[in-house]
Amino acid sequence: MVTELTRRTLALVLAGGEGSRLKDLTMWRAKPAVPFGGKYRIIDFALSNCVNSGIRRIGVLTQYKSHSLIRHLQRAWGFMRAEIGEFVEILPAQQRTAKKEWYQGTADALFQNIDIVQRHDPEYILVLGGDHIYTMDYSKMLIHHHETGADFTVGCIEVPVEEAKGFGVMSIDEDTRITKFVEKPAHPEEVPGKPGVALASMGIYIFSRDFLYRVLHEDASKMHSSRDFGKDIIPSNIHRAKAMAYPFRKETGEPGYWRDVGTVHSYWQSNMELCAVDPELNLYDRDWPVWTYQAQYPPAKFIFDDEGCRGEAIDSLISAGCILSGARVKRSMVFFASTIEKYSIVKDSVILPKVSIGERCRISRAIIDKGTVIPDGTIIGEDLELDRKRFHVTDEGIVLVTAEMMGQNLRNRDKDTLWRMAS
């Protein structure tokens, strides 16, 4: 039954978001293309969930600054075999309707590609956000949708009420039928019997084909619609259709791992969680691998063994191609092809790909963006007032550093640095 259902399903991944709350991390890339976890991009988690769930007909809808994302999709996800009905198809905004508009919202993104969706003739359409970190078997949600005879099903998870203000919040009855749905409420409704907890939408929807086609056409004809699933499609149809919720839980019954890395602090924190001895998100699960493009770099290297000048990493993830040359790294995530020189100390930080950190640097609670060169003797994260004059500092004290903030732009970088960033 699972195989039959997944073969009749088309997954559409919404990956056109700007991700403005990530500040300079999305200056040159869409949010789903932001690196995560040492070697991945954020979008790899949704796509890996599809493949591991047996759903291998996938469309990725792109819009905002999509070059980096499209290049990654071409490199990482070109292994699908079209001759047996597998594909990851890129669907950029093309102004496909008579109005000649870019995507105006999540629902409009699907409406503008409705002819392509119909050409694939799916019975079920799985709609996903490409900007969340989690591992989930969509086939279980698909079975729930099929067995309940739902017109649409919304994936949901229990979150603290304060966090729920940034999501769609729903109420459900004893049969998991949705009775109420409010997008980003100021005062989220609590789950009965669970004070301080609300039921939030994960941005995961399964639609039955005919229902989706009908509501997309209806929404497109409404003059004042914001063309959004959470704001328009879902709330206006919970009493007109069979709307079901699918609570995402572990085998133990506890809420599953799901993170919206929508802010600089949540992005830093989610990476830091992976440095724990037993992280909730298991990247080492051989039964549920996270697929990605892997550049051909040599193993990570740790050199020198003198007092105060010892290449070492503690409670950290160090990726391929990195060289710790007499440097100490603690509770940090270091992405591929980065180098840290003698006597430098990096703590509680996220170092993105191809970063060069010089000698005698001290970096704490920071995010260093791709390709940034940190000069010898630089101190980041110890004097936040000083850091605010040069970098972006969050309310929680996380310092975001980019090459542009360091005064390193395309005009004054040497050819070797430019080659490393481009590769």
Would you give per-residue pLDDT tens digits along the chain (423 residues)? 678 999 999 999 999 888 899 999 999 999 999 999 999 999 999 999 999 999 999 999 999 999 999 999 999 999 988 888 899 999 998 876 666 677 888 999 999 999 999 999 999 999 999 999 999 999 999 999 999 999 999 999 999 999 999 899 999 999 999 999 999 999 999 999 899 999 999 999 999 999 999 999 999 998 889 899 999 999 999 999 999 999 999 888 899 999 999 999 999 999 999 999 999 999 999 999 999 998 899 999 999 999 889 999 999 999 999 999 999 999 999 999 999 999 999 999 999 999 999 999 999 999 999 999 999 999 999 999 999 999 999 999 999 999 999 998 644 444 444 444 444
- DSSP letters spanning 195-251: TTEEEEEEEEEEEEHHHHHHHHHHHHH-TT----IIIIIHHHHTTTS-EEEEE-B-T
- DSSP letters spanning 323-340: EEES-EEES-EE-TT-EE
Element (H, E) at 58: strand 57-62
Of the chain, the end-to-end C-alpha distance in Å amounts to 43
User: How far is Cα 380 from Cα 390, in angstroms, rounded to an integer?
Assistant: 10
Cβ-count burial 284-321 (b if 16+ within 10 Å, e if not): eeeeeebbbbeeeeeebebeeeeeebbbebeebbbbbb
Q: How many residues does the chain have?
A: 423
- Is 121 within 8 Å of 44 (Cβ atoms)? no
- Is 327 within 8 Å of 342 (Cβ atoms)? yes
User: How far is Cα 269 from Cα 388, in angstroms, rounded to an integer?
Assistant: 20
Other Cβ atoms within 10 Å of 228 Cβ, number: 19
Specify which residues 329 forms β-bridges with: 313, 346
User: How far is Cα 241 from Cα 177, in angstroms, rounded to an integer?
Assistant: 10
| DSSP letter (8 states) at residue 257 | P
What pLDDT does residue 419 have?
42
What pLDDT does residue 305 have?
95
What pLDDT does residue 244 have?
98
User: How far is Cα 131 from Cα 14, in angstroms, rounded to an integer?
Assistant: 8
User: How far is Cα 145 from Cα 407, in angstroms, rounded to an integer?
Assistant: 52
User: How far is Cα 247 from Cα 322, in angstroms, rounded to an integer?
Assistant: 40
- Is 333 within 8 Å of 314 (Cβ atoms)? no
Return phi, psi of residue 38, to 5°.
95, -30
Which two tokens mark 251? 């085998």
Q: Which of 125, 118, 123 is nearest to 12 (CA)?
A: 125
What pLDDT does residue 98 have?
62
- Is 332 within 8 Å of 361 (Cβ atoms)? no
What pLDDT does residue 414 have?
46
